[in-house]
């Protein structure tokens, strides 16, 4: 089935390039699919960005098309490819690229880079090394880092001081974080009036947070070299889920149930949660809405300091006509230039993937006034690629469904992870059957 589908996609791609659209007299019109995965005014900022691009490039007319969540964007992009009308560019969750490359749904960007007179190493060299693991597949470039993130620990500094804690010395270990959460949780009888810590768990966010906790417990979520293996039923992930569940059911310092990201940020902003783990992509939203002093810090460790990369890369889907592909490449290079990368970081809270962005005068001035924006960048020294497998979304949901059952008090961690591993291996079966050599 896989090979048949790839053959059909390959024929469709060949057809698209064999009969390119005739060049018209007007600008080349292209669509950019973009998701809004975090809090804030990202959609409005995207409109501002594309308007500036169009004003400076009269031969191209780009239209930003809002496509929902990261998962929604993948679904809509795949549907458009199958319909033969892919958008010229997409801001795609960085960890979906491996699955899309396996399915022949991505344009290999090597030839576009070479046409500019650059090498792959020179092109990638402008971005933080930690981002390259999700952009390069089989030594070819398939994505350009655009807005990227790491998880952060957000602390209500005022409430920490009230509890006798020093917000300038944030918790560095799980044990310290647990102690802080106990001291920051307030109760009136059986009712909790202030939670010590909140961690989001909804589709997409939940898998990322499980990878975060597993990595800080010394483990891995998946095989970084092979898209057919995940490590759900392992001691490191069991420890991670057990600690998360203990915060909920044993220490009762974390709200019960699986809480979506926006509900967590709302709880923090309203003062209902004194600490939260959330993406740096929500940092600008917190900065603009918190009516209290706050701090951001590294994610505390149990075994080691480590975080997964998050966020998105710019891609060109398979089957884009040659003239639109060229226009999309112009847009991608402009959006990821140091100046625009820096502007987008200041507007949203995502860190700028282009290292030169941090040397621009506006960014230097911004960081002097907002040192909290440095934390995610400093955390890149311990950052590793975001989980990426064949059928990334279903494999991720195999775990997320089970984690939600645990946080809702319906399963124990070990039972859940055994079930998640079994379900994931079933989902991965077609890829593993294809890649395993059936030698006699």
Counting other chains too, the contacts that 247-252 makes at CB distance below 8 Å and 24 or more residues apart are 247/178, 247/181, 247/197, 247/199, 248/407, 248/409, 249/409, 251/178, 251/181, 251/182, 252/185, 252/192
User: Order of strands across the sheet with 294-297?
Assistant: 275-279, 151-156, 294-297
Query: From CA 435, how far away is CA 424, in angstroms rounded?
Result: 16
Positive or negative, the Cα torsion across 31, 142, 325, 78? negative
pLDDT of residue 349: 86
Strands 28-34 and 89-93: parallel
125 alpha carbon, distance to own chain's centre: 21
Query: From CA 224, how far away is CA 230, in angstroms rounded?
Result: 9
CA distances from 334 to 218, 300, 310, 352, 354 (A): 38, 36, 21, 14, 12
Query: From CA 311, how far away is CA 100, in angstroms rounded?
Result: 16
- Token reading at 65: 């098309």
Other beta carbons within 10 Å of 125: 12
CA distances from 269 to 39, 220, 399 (A): 12, 32, 29
List the beta strands (DSSP E) in 209-305.
275-279, 294-297
pLDDT of residue 439: 59
What are the residues whose beta carbons fall under 8 Å from the beta carbon of 375, sequence distance 6 or more?
152, 280, 296, 297, 298
User: Order of strands across the sheet with 144-149?
Assistant: 60-66, 28-34, 89-93, 310-315, 144-149
Beta bridge partners of 28: 60
CA distances from 209 to 53, 202, 236, 242, 412 (A): 35, 10, 14, 13, 18
- Token reading at 61: 């007319």
Positive or negative, the Cα torsion across 105, 88, 130, 388? negative
Mean pLDDT for back-to-back runs of 10 residues, the chain (440 residues): 42 38 74 81 89 97 94 96 97 96 97 96 95 93 95 98 98 98 96 97 95 98 94 98 98 95 95 96 92 97 97 96 97 97 92 96 96 94 95 97 97 98 97 79
Query: From CA 275, how far away is CA 296, in angstroms rounded?
Result: 10
Within 13 Å and on the Cβ side, how many CA atoms surround 306?
20
């Amino acid at each position: 089935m896989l090979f048949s589908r790839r053959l059909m996609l390959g024929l469709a791609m060949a057809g698209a390039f064999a009969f390119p659209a005739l060049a018209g007299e007007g600008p080349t019109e292209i669509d950019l699919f973009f998701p809004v995965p975090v809090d804030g005014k990202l959609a409005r900022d995207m409109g501002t960005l594309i308007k500036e691009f169009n004003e400076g490039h009269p031969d191209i007319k780009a239209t930003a098309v809002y496509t929902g969540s990261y998962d929604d964007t993948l679904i809509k992009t795949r549907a458009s490819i199958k319909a033969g009308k892919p958008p010229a560019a997409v801001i795609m969750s960085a960890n979906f690229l491996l699955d899309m490359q396996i399915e022949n749904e991505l344009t290999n960007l090597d030839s576009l880079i070479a046409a500019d007179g650059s090498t792959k190493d020179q092109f990638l060299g402008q971005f933080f090394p930690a981002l390259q693991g999700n952009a390069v597949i089989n030594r070819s470039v398939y994505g350009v880092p655009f807005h990227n993130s790491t998880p952060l620990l957000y602390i209500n500094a005022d409430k920490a001081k009230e509890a006798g804690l020093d917000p300038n010395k944030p918790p560095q270990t799980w044990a310290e974080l647990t102690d802080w959460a106990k001291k920051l949780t307030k109760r009136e009888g059986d009712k909790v009036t202030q939670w010590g810590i909140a961690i989001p768990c909804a589709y997409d966010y939940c898998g990322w947070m499980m990878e975060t906790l597993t990595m800080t417990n010394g483990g891995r979520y998946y095989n970084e070299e092979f898209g057919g293996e995940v490590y759900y039923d392992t001691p490191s992930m069991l420890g991670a889920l057990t600690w998360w569940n203990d915060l909920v059911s044993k220490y009762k310092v974390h709200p019960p149930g699986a809480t979506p990201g926006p509900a967590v940020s709302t709880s923090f902003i309203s003062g209902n949660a004194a600490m939260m783990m959330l993406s740096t992509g929500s940092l600008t939203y917190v900065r603009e809405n918190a009516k209290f002093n706050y701090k951001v810090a590294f994610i505390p460790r149990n075994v080691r300091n480590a975080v997964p990369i998050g966020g998105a890369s710019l891609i060109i889907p398979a089957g884009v006509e040659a003239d639109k592909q060229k226009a999309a490449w112009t847009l991608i290079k402009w959006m990821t230039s140091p100046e625009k990368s820096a502007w987008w970081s200041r507007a949203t809270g995502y860190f700028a993937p282009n290292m030169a962005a941090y040397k621009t005068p506006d960014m230097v001035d911004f960081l002097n006034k907002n040192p909290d924006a440095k934390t995610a960048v400093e955390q890149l020294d311990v950052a590793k690629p975001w989980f990426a497998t064949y059928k990334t979304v279903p494999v991720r949901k195999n775990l997320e469904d089970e984690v939600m059952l645990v946080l809702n008090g319906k399963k124990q961690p070990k039972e859940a992870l055994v079930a998640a591993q079994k379900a994931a291996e079933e989902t991965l079966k077609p890829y593993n059957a294809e890649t395993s050599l059936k030698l006699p």
